[in-house]
Structure 1
């Protein structure tokens, strides 16, 4: 089996309050790539939110972000986990003639793992009552383990 490829999504390359955490994750990903534990990783700056109805959402970068979020949500449905706490949707309006606008608030950091081009893991996510963080995901990869079995975790909730 080929090593996975990863995409790390960040709001900023120097986030206030999360800089040290982000740097630690990036250093671990570089190490994993150097040790051939992962095939590659890329960093995508996606900001803090995106409005589905905005002109920016129709741009190449905006479509990329919205497509990734939709892919993550589909993955969550198929694996019976939740992304709701991390990808919050907000609506504004209508105020008389103003049309309703839907905005997706994006997490400070998100990690997507692809195996042979197929999405196999997204973090952060919640399975049952357990939150699986980006750090948990990277720790599992560093230990040579498959990221936590989310199916087992979600099956434990009654």
Structure 2
């Protein structure tokens, strides 16, 4: 559970699978970093979630708790990206599909094999992978920066000396996912 207290700081790692044939060394390294983060006093909670390769965004999502959690998580990532001017594409891909048999249209969200979210007071303050202009924020690089205490961006770091909250950061345009 993500800490929703006003000052609660949390990290959530999402992995596509624990299958040893598909997980690979990046997952192992990420889990090692998460283990190290759990021992840091500056972080109140750490959570690891598992998601699939993709899911269909439909009203049925609400009837399946795991899919509803993933949908809610992705929506919070999109809100964060809108607020901060970061881009989630191409890591999180949305695709519109139209069935030629039924004429039904729906949206498929393709998920990355590994993702990281940082929360303060239950609000997303950082997502990786993401892009900031031409710069890609990689999950393993971000985890390493958190573990080493080198995450210095005040909107992203778990640093109590931050002068501005994530909500006070300037808004920049980003190409968003259609909803």
TM-score, structure 2 normalization: 0.75
Q: Any gaps of 5 or more consecutive residues in structure 1?
A: none
Cα shift readout 1:26-84 (whole Å, capped 9, x = no counterpart): 11111121243432211111111010127456311111111110110010010001001
1:38–1:115 Cα change, 3 Å: same
1:112 lines up with 2:112 in the alignment:
no
CA contact (8 A) 1:2 1:39 kept: no
Tell me the distance in 1 between the aligned counterparts of 2:104 and 2:139: 36
- Kindly report which structure 2 residues correspond to 1:22-37, keeping only aligned pairs within 5 A, or say none: 22-37=27-42
Tell me the distance in 2 between the aligned counterparts of 1:51 and 1:93: 12
Question: What is aligned with 1:141?
Answer: 146
Tell me the distance in 2 between the aligned counterparts of 1:87 and 1:105: 6
List structure 1 segments (4+ residues) > 4 angstroms apart after TM superposition.
147-152
1:84 lines up with 2:89 in the alignment:
yes
1:38 lines up with 2:38 in the alignment:
no
CA contact (8 A) 1:4 1:113 kept: yes
Tell me the distance in 1 between the aligned counterparts of 2:28 and 2:49: 14
How many residue pairs get aligned? The number is: 153
**Greater CA drift, 85-94 or 50-59:** 50-59
Q: Any gaps of 5 or more consecutive residues in structure 2?
A: 1-5, 157-168, 173-179
1:2, distance to aligned residue in structure 2 (A): 5.9
CA contact (8 A) 2:11 2:117 kept: yes
Q: CA RMSD in A?
A: 2.5
TM-score, structure 1 normalization: 0.84
1:67 lines up with 2:72 in the alignment:
yes
